[in-house]
């Protein structure tokens, strides 16, 4: 953790020693009473925390906050729901790179069993976006949805901005050569691990998406997400 994140509900009460943040403070950062550490409030300001006291059950902390962060880059990621381990990587790494919203959608070729994973139903996914933000030394975490159909997710998107869908099979132009306006929103769509189906492509085109590719090599979903976001953020001048 480069930054330890807290929620408003965490403030004003002891942090149990069993909490991973407490273990990190004591075992990794080796903080003792009176020591400070870098902290942040989820989607709020960064600041400095102070470890006031530590007993056998919990840590007592105080916080001093700075200014609220600027809004996240207006980049929305739409991903065909992948296997849970891949989804964990995408949640973490897309948050680290910086996106405003992240939608995991059901597509023509999605394995329906993936939507039943405890990753989604237990709320575990929250932990992975927070880990991504902590890695980036940032407090901003994306809005996340899961389980919508591709059609429903596309219908709910804001009406403006650049819309690009990665497709190594039918795309004619490389993402690296796309003109992306630096102050406009971007929606980037990636298919599931089996790729887009014909009906998916028709939906994407109907909603104004241009099909683009990352070159001749077919990448794993998590690698494609990182590569595509890097190119988009570089084009926007926000990398």
Q: What is the pLDDT of residues 139-184, one digit of tens each?
A: 999 999 999 999 999 999 988 889 999 998 999 899 998 888 777 8
Mean pLDDT of 199-207: 97
CATH ID of 75-236, from 2.60.120.560, 3.30.450.90, 3.40.1280.10, 3.40.1010.10: 3.40.1280.10
Residues 36-49 pLDDT 10s: 999 999 999 999 99
Query: Which of 105, 113, 117 shows the shortest CA–CA distance to 190?
Result: 105
239 vs 185 pLDDT, higher one: 185
pLDDT tier, 131 (very low <50, low <70, confident <90, very high otherwise): very high
Q: Which of 18-22, 73-77, 159-163, 205-209 has the lowest mean pLDDT?
A: 159-163
Q: DSSP states of 90-145 as a string?
A: HHHHHHHH--SEEEEEE-TT--GGGGG-HHHHSSTHHHHHHHHHHHTT-----EEE
Does residue 92 carry a pLDDT above 80?
yes
Angle between helices 84-97 and 125-135 (to 10 degrees): 30
* Percent of residues, the chain, with pLDDT higher than 90: 85
What is the chain's mean pLDDT, rounded?
94
Considering the chain, tell me which residue range(s) the CATH 2.40.240.20 domain(s) occupy: 4-65
Delimit the CATH 3.40.1280.10 region(s) of the chain: 75-236
pLDDT at res. 181 = 72
Task: Spell out the CATH class of 4-65.
Answer: mainly beta
């Amino acid at each position: 953790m480069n930054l330890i994140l807290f929620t408003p509900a965490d403030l004003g009460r002891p942090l149990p020693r069993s909490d991973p943040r407490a273990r990190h403070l004591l075992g990794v950062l080796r903080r003792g009473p009176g020591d400070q550490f870098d902290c942040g409030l989820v989607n709020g300001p960064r600041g400095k925390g102070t470890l006031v006291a530590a007993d056998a059950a919990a840590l007592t902390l105080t916080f001093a906050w700075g200014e609220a962060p600027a809004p996240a880059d207006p980049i929305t990621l739409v991903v065909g729901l992948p296997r849970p381990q891949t989804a964990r990587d995408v949640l973490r790494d897309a948050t680290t790179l910086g996106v405003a919203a992240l939608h995991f959608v059901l597509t023509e070729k999605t394995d329906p069993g993936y939507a039943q994973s405890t990753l989604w139903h237990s709320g575990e996914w929250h932990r992975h976006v927070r880990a991504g933000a902590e890695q980036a030394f940032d407090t901003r975490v994306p809005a996340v949805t899961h389980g919508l159909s591709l059609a429903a997710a596309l219908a709910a998107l804001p009406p403006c901005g650049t819309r690009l869908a990665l497709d190594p099979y039918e795309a004619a132009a490389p993402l690296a050569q796309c003109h992306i306006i630096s102050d406009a929103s971007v929606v980037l769509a990636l298919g599931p691990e089996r790729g887009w189906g014909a009906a998916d492509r028709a939906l994407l085109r109907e909603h104004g998406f241009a099909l683009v590719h990352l070159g001749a090599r077919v990448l794993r979903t998590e690698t494609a997400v990182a590569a595509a976001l890097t190119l988009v953020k570089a084009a926007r001048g926000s990398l």
